[in-house]
Chain A
């Protein structure tokens, strides 16, 4: 009896809360997620079963790229890209250190923002994924056969590589735009002479369709605005690229006020096909530069870094008809193009409305010279003549828009902390769902391509607060998965992410999983220090350098005992994993190593430098539990005084 009264009492309380307090709407829908529907079932991937999509989420200030499965939200891997990773030795081993070389020297970290998967005919093809380093301007290419960073190219004349890395619909170009305008070339000058003197570079990096190799085709040197985000035209607008700008005021101080004064900033529309033609016919100006191009060779397992000394620049004034400005209200952030290529959405982050430009009207305005002035000689198109429509009052602080294949758009609103679904063409708001909290990017698999897979929407939130058990002042970030197959978006799942994920890209698993490499073939290992069979193991002294040609197979190192090393030597452990079996990596760790451990995949060779400082006998061991005899997988290095005359010797299995 007492119990039933209690229940009745709480029901009355609950009804009261819902009934008379609007502010609690959010609270109730927050609880709704799993209760109102069979959400748990829809994200449950039973043990032994596999996810439907790979989701690649930028690692933000971790500088890496994380791989998740959808719909489960399970993290599958963190791929090291711009930051050192002591877990597997990336950026610490002799082979991988050149990957992080730049014109500023060795830069072992970055802020990674916008992954984009390679495309063919505007559809995801799963060959490569590209991501930008925002701080030290770089673009990385990760091969999706090896899930490994295979190439990093630095972008000269850029600072804050933010409107990057977005690719054209046949992966002809990876595009990288600068957020900060800077003196080009860099020089010592007063900051308050910014206006008219600082420039913004938009860089078009060509991609070899066979190898994926990147090379800067040209840099367009634009007025000194901030180039925030970009997206390629697709289908009918293929051949164009669109960049949002802010700070068209060209303020150089207190930007939060001074760069928010103009009623409209611009979306820069770039006809890159026209510029490509101009460049192919010998146009552009080659200027001195200094930037690193780092390539990992799959067969030697060694990265090389080459400093390139010049870059081709293009002044937009020299290619008439290649660049136009589309006036767009209020410091637009995201710049998104719908799957048909007709609509260009400017997400004016200080605006309450969403502005949509029409590509067809844009072409018409260009043809009929419907201009509204110019900026630094670049024609500004008349706002009214290119406007396709306005999504009225959808929310506050729109940032980014993704698309499904049914003609719907999904825009994230940072300030009002929600996702809003609206109809492309009628501009009618269809649904809105709160997110927890303050969403940045949103992502639909293929949602920025010609062929979206509109089953899920992932909100990548900036603020986490109370969504998970507290972990002190520093929290994880939160992603939220929505089912978007119905009329209303349904929240299915929250899951934590690494760093602060900005953009993400997802692709049906079957486009990638079947190509995922299992082992490297020893027969294809061309590493100069590889020891491909037990008989090849040896130790060679070259002055103070000692090269140990070691190999490993379950469950021993060969050799496992080494004598004749001296204090002050620089010892190179060149270790080859002789396994040719799937999922049998071995690790290598040596006491007092000042760098990291290494994880060596079957068939690969990696090198760790160890500089012993103390006389003694020092152990090394395998860090990856490889077999039943993993604990036996160990060895010793005898380190003698610097003036000792003990000769080098090595052994395995001798008494």
Chain B
């Protein structure tokens, strides 16, 4: 099961990319912003695509009463996510090594994948909750209080994934490099599972 073990190790190591590359990216373009403002969401915090983008997004958002974009210390997620990813990488590498030396079954690879998938879905769910809160918990003294056609107060939750027109802004929310690295990494662990299965069938 040497090949499967190596693939498993490579797959889980790819998750380390999250410490370097953003997981998600939200871009805000408008007629007055031909160069759109943007934020890169990392597991350790949120950064502007350009140096002053966060400040400028906050500046615009204050008109509609949105809270400022959270700093690292404002959200527990930015402490916990890096730990979870770190643990999962270590776990994946250990499982891979054990698999390489034939100490554990290939089923462990799938087990890691399922655990990671659950964590991933939980992460996305949490992210969406934040987007909802961020887009709907508005300052009652907001400068502009807009209503939908049906009379309900307008809210500003950016899309979890995809494109949405919000007032004068074109909002694009898409996975970024880090997310693609997780995707490929997790895919590799599934490949490791099947390769391992094949390798162990050959042995038996």
Spot the interface stretch: B51-59, B88-96, B181-189: B51-59
Question: Residues of B at under 8 Å CB distance from A?
Answer: 35, 51-52, 55-56, 59, 63, 143-144
* Interface residue? A469 (CB, 8 A): no
A628–B56 CB distance below 8 A: no
Query: Does A384 sit within 8 A of B, measured CB to CB?
Result: no
Q: Say which residue of A554, A580, A628, A629 sits within 8 Å of B52 (CB atoms).
A: A580
Tell me whether A581 and B52 are in contact in the complex, defined as CB-CB below 8 angstroms, given that A553-B59, A554-B59, A628-B63 are known contacts: yes
Complex: A580 Cα to B52 Cα, angstroms: 6
Please judge, given known A-B contacts A519-B52, A580-B52, A581-B52, whether A629 and B59 are in contact too, CB under 8 Å.
no
Q: How far is A519 from B52 in the complex, measured between Cα atoms in Å?
A: 10
Q: Decide: A580 and B143 in contact? CB cutoff 8 A.
A: no
Q: List 17 A-B contacts (CB under 8 A).
A: A519-B52, A553-B59, A554-B59, A579-B59, A580-B51, A580-B52, A580-B55, A580-B56, A581-B52, A581-B55, A581-B56, A581-B59, A582-B35, A628-B63, A628-B144, A629-B63, A629-B143
Contacts of B35 in A (CB 8 A): 582
Question: In the complex, which residue of chain B has the Cβ closest to the Cβ of A581?
Answer: B56
* Set of chain B residues within 8 Å of A553, measured between Cβ atoms: 59
Considering the complex, give the chain B residue whose CB is closest to the CB of A48: B34
In the complex, what residues of A have CB within 8 A of residue B59's CB?
A: 553-554, 579, 581
CB distance from A534 to the nearest CB of B (A): 13
- Chain B residue numbers with a CB within 8 Å of A629 are 63, 143
The CA of A554 and the CA of B55, in the complex, are separated in Å by 12
10 shortest interchain CB distances as A-B pairs = A580-B52, A581-B56, A580-B55, A554-B59, A629-B143, A581-B52, A580-B56, A553-B59, A581-B59, A628-B63
Question: What DSSP secondary structure best describes chain B's contact surface?
Answer: mixed
> What chain B residues lie within 8 Å of A628 (beta carbons)?
63, 144
Convert A546-581 into 0s and 1s, putting 1 for each residue whose CB lies closer than 8 angstroms to a CB of B: 000000011000000000000000000000000111
A628-651 interface bits toward B, Cβ cutoff 8 Å, 1 = contact, 0 = none: 110000000000000000000000
Besides A580-B56, A581-B52, A581-B55, 11 more A-B contacts (Cβ < 8 Å) are: A519-B52, A553-B59, A580-B51, A580-B52, A580-B55, A581-B56, A581-B59, A628-B63, A628-B144, A629-B63, A629-B143
CB distance from B37 to the nearest CB of A (A): 9
From residue B60, how far is it (CB to closest CB) to chain A in Å? 8
Complex CA–CA separation, A553 to B55 (angstroms): 11
Nearest-CB residue, chain B, relative to A603: B52
Q: How far is the CB of A554 from chain B (nearest CB, A)?
A: 6
Contacts of B143 in A (CB 8 A): 629
Question: How many Å from the CB of B62 to the closest CB on chain A?
Answer: 8
Contacting residues of chain A (311-327) with chain B, CB-CB under 8 angstroms? none
CA distance A629 to B63 in the complex (A): 9
Report the minimal beta-carbon distance from B109 to chain A, rounded to whole angstroms: 48
* CA A628 to CA B63, docked complex, whole Å: 9
Minimum distance in angstroms from B63 CB to a CB of chain A: 7
Residues on the A chain within 8 Å of B144, using CB: 628
Identify the closest chain A residue to B32 (Cβ).
Answer: A583
User: In this complex, which of B51, B59, B63 has the most chain A Cβ atoms within 10 angstroms of its Cβ?
Assistant: B59
Give Cα distance in the complex from A378 to B51, angstroms: 61
Residues of the B chain whose Cβ atoms lie less than 8 Å from the Cβ of A581: 52, 55-56, 59
Task: Encode contact with B along A572-612: 1 for CB under 8 Å, 0 otherwise.
Answer: 00000001111000000000000000000000000000000
A447 to B192 Cα, complex, angstroms: 67
A554 CA / B51 CA spacing, docked (Å): 19
Which residues of B are found within 8 Å of A582, using beta-carbon distances? 35
Hey, which chain A residues are within 8 Å of B63, CB to CB? 628-629
Give the most central of A553, A579, A582, A629: most B CB within 10 Å. Answer: A582
Bound Cα distance from A554 to B63, whole angstroms: 10
Alpha-carbon separation in the docked complex, A554 to B35 (Å)? 19
Shortest CB-to-CB span from A501 to chain B, Å, is 32
Which residue of chain A lies nearest to B60 when distances are taken between CB atoms in the complex?
A554
Interface positions of A from 503 to 557, Cβ below 8 Å from B? 519, 553-554
How far apart sit A519 and B143, CA to CA, in the bound complex (Å)?
26
Docked Cα-Cα span, A629 to B60, in Å, equals 12
Shortest distance in angstroms between A652's beta carbon and chain B's nearest beta carbon? 14
Closest B residue to A632 using CB positions: B143
Distance A456 CA – B124 CA, assembled complex (angstroms): 58
What's the Cα separation between A580 and B56 when bound, in Å? 7
Chain A residues with Cβ under 8 A from B52's Cβ? 519, 580-581
Closest-by-CB residue of A relative to B56 is A581
CA–CA, A580 and B55, complex, Å:
8
Q: Roughly how many angstroms separate A581 CA and B50 CA in the complex, as a whole number? A: 10
Measured between beta carbons, the chain A residues less than 8 angstroms from B56 are 580-581
The distance from the CB of B175 to the nearest CB of chain A, in whole angstroms, is 27
Closest to B37 in A: A581
CB distance from B169 to the nearest CB of A (A): 14
Give A521 Cβ to nearest chain B Cβ, in Å: 8
In the assembled complex, the Cα of A581 lies from the Cα of B59 at a distance in Å of 10
A residues in contact with B51, CB < 8 Å: 580
Q: How far is the CB of A582 from chain B (nearest CB, A)?
A: 8
**Which A residues between 395 and 427 are near B, CB-CB below 8 angstroms?**
none
Please name the residue on chain A nearest to B52 by beta carbon. Answer: A580
- B62 to chain A: closest residue by CB: A554
Query: How far is the CB of B107 from the nearest CB of chain A, in Å?
Result: 54
A512 to B143, CA, bound (A): 40
Kindly provide the distance from the CB of B57 to the nearest chain A CB, expressed in whole angstroms: 10
B125, chain A: closest CB distance, angstroms? 34
**Shortest distance in angstroms between B27's beta carbon and chain A's nearest beta carbon?**
16
Interface centre among A553, A554, A581, A629 (most CB of B within 10 A): A581
Q: How many Å from the CB of A281 to the closest CB on chain B?
A: 50
Interface centre among B35, B143, B144 (most CB of A within 10 A): B143
Per the bound structure, the CA–CA distance linking A554 and B144 in Å amounts to 14
CA distance in complex: A580, B51 (Å): 9
Tell me the nearest residue of chain B to A583, going by C-beta: B32
Q: Shortest beta-carbon distance, A524 to chain B, in Å? A: 12
Bound-state CA distance A281–B35 (Å) is 55
How far, in angstroms, from A629 to B62 measured CA to CA in the complex? 12
Enumerate chain B residues within 8 angstroms of A519, measured Cβ to Cβ: 52
B29 to chain A, nearest CB (A): 14
Please indicate the chain B residues that have their CB under 8 angstroms from the CB of A580 in the complex: 51-52, 55-56
Whole-angstrom distance between the alpha carbons of A316 and B52 in the complex? Answer: 57
